[in-house]
Amino acid sequence: MMEPNLHEFSDGTVLAEKLADQVAHRLAAAVEARGEASLAVSGGSTPKRFFQALANRDIDWAKVTVTLVDERFVPADHPRSNHLLVRENLLQGKAAAAHFIPLYHDRPSVEEAAQAATAAAKAISPPFDVVILGMGGDGHTASFFPHGSTLNEALDAAGPRSVLPMEADGAEEPRLTFSFSSLTDAGMLVLHIEGQSKKDVLAKAQEGTNETEMPIRAVLHRASSPVDIYWAP
C-alpha cells in the first residue's frame, strides 16, 4: 500500500488556489501531450472555492472534458444537482469553453440512467487525467456509501469502467457514481477535505480495514494511483 501524500494549507482559500494550480498544470500537460484532457470532480459543499479558482486558469479549456465523479438522481436545475454546482462555479469564465458530460439522464429509473451515463462516458479515453474526490463524515467517497446497495460491485477493482446506481441510508436520493476502477487509476488522484472533523474521520479510516463501514478505505488502501490529500482547517 502506498502512503497518501498529505498537503496541508492555512485555509481553504489558499488550498483552492494551490489545488487549482496543480490541476491546471496537469490538464495543460495532457492537452500538450495528447490534444485533450479529462477531469472528474465531486459535488457537495467543499469544492466550490476550488472550482471558482480553477475556472479562470489560462489553459485550452476547449480541449478539456469535465465530468462528475458522482451525481444525485435529480435534474440539472435541482438545487441538489452536482451538475448545477459545476455549471455555476466551474464552467464559467475561461472554463466555460470546456465540454461537460453529465451523469444524470432523464430515465424512469436510476439503473437506466446509469446505463446511459456509462455509454456517454465512453467518449472519455481512460484513465482520467485528474480525479478530485471528497469525503463525507460517514466515510463515503464518490457515492460509495457505507452499506450502499451496489457497494461491492462499485468497489470491485476488477470491475468495468462504468457508472453505477447507488442507494443508501446516508444518501438523500438515489445516486449515480463512477466505479472504483474508473476513478482510482487517474493521472492525478486527489482527496480534497476541509475541517478538523474530516481529518478525524480520515484518521479513523486509516486505522481500520472494513470498507463496507467506511468505503473511503478502498481508495486509501488500494487505489493504483498515489493519493494526494489536500486539507485545510
- The single residue among 134, 146, 165, 215 that binds ligand 6PG, judged by CB under 6 A, is 134
Least separation in angstroms between residue 46's CB and ligand 6PG is: 3
**Candidates 10-18, 37-45, 116-124, 150-158 — which segment interacts with ligand 6PG by CB under 6 A?**
37-45
The answer to whether 146 contacts ligand 6PG (rule: CB under 6 A) is no
The answer to whether 102 contacts ligand 6PG (rule: CB under 6 A) is no
Least separation in angstroms between residue 96's CB and ligand 6PG is: 22
Cα separation, 110 vs 19, in Å, equals 32
Position of minimal CB gap to ligand 6PG:
134
With left for phi above 0 and alpha for psi between -120 and 50, is residue 25 left, alpha or beta?
Answer: alpha
Cα separation, 26 vs 4, in Å, equals 19
The answer to whether 81 contacts ligand 6PG (rule: CB under 6 A) is no
Sites for ligand 6PG among residues 155-174 (CB under 6 A): none
Place of cell 442507494: 167
**Candidates 8-16, 29-37, 103-111, 129-137 — which segment interacts with ligand 6PG by CB under 6 A?**
129-137
Query: What cell was used for 89?
Result: 462555479
Least separation in angstroms between residue 171's CB and ligand 6PG is: 8
- The single residue among 74, 86, 90, 142 that binds ligand 6PG, judged by CB under 6 A, is 142
Least separation in angstroms between residue 221's CB and ligand 6PG is: 18
Closest alpha carbon to 78 in 210, 3, 172: 172
The answer to whether 43 contacts ligand 6PG (rule: CB under 6 A) is yes
Q: Are 144 and 180 in contact (CB under 8 A)?
A: yes
User: Looking at beta carbons only, is 44 or 160 nearer to ligand 6PG?
Assistant: 44
The answer to whether 136 contacts ligand 6PG (rule: CB under 6 A) is yes
- The single residue among 46, 162, 182, 184 that binds ligand 6PG, judged by CB under 6 A, is 46
Omega within 30 of 0 (cis) for the link into 127: yes
Cα separation, 218 vs 216, in Å, equals 5
Query: What cell was used for 167?
Result: 442507494
Q: Are 155 and 149 in contact (CB under 8 A)?
A: no
- The single residue among 141, 150, 162, 179 that binds ligand 6PG, judged by CB under 6 A, is 141
**Residues making contact with ligand 6PG (CB under 6 A):** 42-46, 69-70, 82, 134-136, 140-142
